[in-house]
Amino acid sequence: MKKVVKFGGSSLASAEQFQKVGKIIRSDAARRYVVPSAPGKRFGGDTKVTDMLYGCYRLAEEGKDFRGALENIKARYMEIIEGLSLNLSMDEQFEEIAKNFQNKAGENYAASRGEYLNGIVMAEYLGFEFVDAAEVICFDEDGNFDAEKTDEVMSKRLEGLQQAVIPGFYGAKPDGSVKTFSRGGSDITGSLVAKAVHADLYENWTDVSGFLVTDPRIVKDPATISTITYREMRELSYMGATVLHEDAIFPLRREGIPINVRNTNRPEDPGTMIVESTCNKPKYTITGIGGKKGFASITIEKAMMNSEIGFGRKVLQVFEENGLSFEHTPSGIDTFTVYVHQSEFESKEQQVIAGLHRAVQPDLIELESDLALIAVVGRGMRRTRGTAGRIFSALAHAHVNVKMIDQGSSELNIIIGVENRDFETAIQAIYDIFVTAQI
């Protein structure tokens, strides 16, 4: 049994947090590969080490004195080291960083030092081997990530190691210069390690006990999703939910390695399992509710449009020619509606309308703005009869005017259009009927 465990910045902000992490790792011998982030905020108003590094490097680049700023960063690490009673000096590392800052080694290098140093502390604390990510995460000359080479180099390097700490967020180009991932940071490193060592599980430890059924800014204390499929996660993330970045999932999905999102501060919580597929019956009929505001709809009416071959294509071509992507195209009889992002549409409105008139000679074009789309997502909806009935009854009961409904293939997700002002009410109503009512 091999587990790769990745810890976010808030899990490693202080010696106290390190101790929680240490306890988690030592409680399970399978937790053999550790991917740390840089120390995050210890309290509200605190500065993340990575941001301190950016600030410090800016001084260096501007030729100003950056020694004081670098000392502050060193103090952050020494506080952790001393708090953990480790016998570890960081003098050598900070001397090298100072030298490289002086030589303008670049922002990528500067930013990466937070993880690098934290990895050294973590390895010392756990008694694991430290493996510099620059050795095992490979970018090409142009700075593009090289997945194949990384997998080869990392597999070989980690093969002989019983336990290792590999800092997240960065790697190196063939000339040895450091390159960071643009987004998803340490999550990507963690998934690459999990892939390389053929892990049985990739644990992603954060400060939340997994993904929530819906946005906590809309619904108070929403329930946690116990199991979510990659597909459901992508659907929810598309509709605005904060989940793992696509790049952090892709390597694992191909290998069928499940991800477990856990809370360092509440290790007793099971968190959320992210899996390729599962016959695990979900706790609630729905897995999650996502949504976004700020859409506009363009409804085209024309008698007998359905028998006009090429009608839909011509309509969509007008949007394409104006550089607009569309979200949904629900249709009735003799009506065809196109949902677009309002912000993108506004400046092109008149060209689009003129284009539609030229292209398909509609009987009528109707515009509506300030619309929101809500996605109700869940593999459980397929096997539960009446999901749509419950959703629309709940919305009616909550006095929400449903502007649009779109459901493609059998109830895997249902898209609902409402007015912006009904957005929160609608999400709360759907949450209540499926989750609150069941608790």
Using CB under 8 A as the binding rule, whether residue 420 contacts a copy of itself is answered as no
Using CB under 8 A as the binding rule, whether residue 234 contacts a copy of itself is answered as yes
Nearer to a copy of itself, 194 or 395 (CB): 395
Using CB under 8 A as the binding rule, whether residue 368 contacts a copy of itself is answered as yes
Q: Which of 109, 235, 275, 372 binds a copy of itself (CB under 8 A)?
A: 235
Using CB under 8 A as the binding rule, whether residue 331 contacts a copy of itself is answered as yes
Q: Which of 147, 354, 396, 437 binds a copy of itself (CB under 8 A)?
A: 396
Using CB under 8 A as the binding rule, whether residue 370 contacts a copy of itself is answered as no
Contact 355, 322 (CB under 8 A): yes
Nearer to a copy of itself, 35 or 275 (CB): 275
For residues 46-81, one letter each, b for 16 or more C-beta atoms within 10 angstroms of the residue's C-beta and e for the rest, the string is: eebbbebbeebbebbeeeeebeebbeebbebbbebb
8 carries a ligand binding annotation: yes
Using CB under 8 A as the binding rule, whether residue 317 contacts a copy of itself is answered as yes
Rounded least distance, CB 424 to a copy of itself, Å: 18
DSSP-derived letter for residue 11 is G
Helix 387-397 / helix 423-431 crossing angle, nearest 10 deg? 130
115 carries a ligand binding annotation: yes
Binding mask 286-315 for a copy of itself (x = CB under 8 A): -----------x-x---xx-xxxxxxxx--
Using CB under 8 A as the binding rule, whether residue 410 contacts a copy of itself is answered as yes
Q: Which two tokens stand for residue 151?
A: 């997998």
Nearer to a copy of itself, 107 or 349 (CB): 349
58 carries a ligand binding annotation: no
Using CB under 8 A as the binding rule, whether residue 125 contacts a copy of itself is answered as no
Residues 243-282 that bind a copy of itself (CB under 8 A): none
Q: Which residues pair with 179 in a beta bridge?
A: 171
Contact 331, 298 (CB under 8 A): no
Q: How far apart are CA 361 and CA 295, in angstroms?
A: 24
| Residue tagged 């897995």 (tokens) | 287
184 carries a ligand binding annotation: no
Nearer to a copy of itself, 333 or 439 (CB): 333
Nearer to a copy of itself, 138 or 415 (CB): 415
Contact 125, 118 (CB under 8 A): no
| Residue tagged 């999905």 (tokens) | 253
Using CB under 8 A as the binding rule, whether residue 438 contacts a copy of itself is answered as no
Nearer to a copy of itself, 108 or 387 (CB): 387
How much is the CA Rg of the chain, to the nearest whole Å?
26
Among 148, 153, 145, 154, smallest CA distance to 173 is for 145
Using CB under 8 A as the binding rule, whether residue 404 contacts a copy of itself is answered as yes
Q: Which residues contact 56 (CB under 8 A, 6 or more apart)?
A: 66, 69, 70, 72, 73, 101, 110
C-alpha to C-alpha distances, 35 to 129, 185, 193, 206, nearest whole angstrom: 12, 11, 8, 12
Binding mask 161-200 for a copy of itself (x = CB under 8 A): ----------------------------------------
C-alpha to C-alpha distances, 150 to 108, 141, 192, 196, 249, nearest whole angstrom: 19, 14, 8, 8, 16
- Which residues are near a copy of itself by CB under 8 A? 234-235, 238-239, 297, 299, 303-304, 306-313, 316-317, 319-320, 323-337, 366, 368, 375, 377, 385-397, 399, 401-415
Annotated binding site for substrate: 50, 115
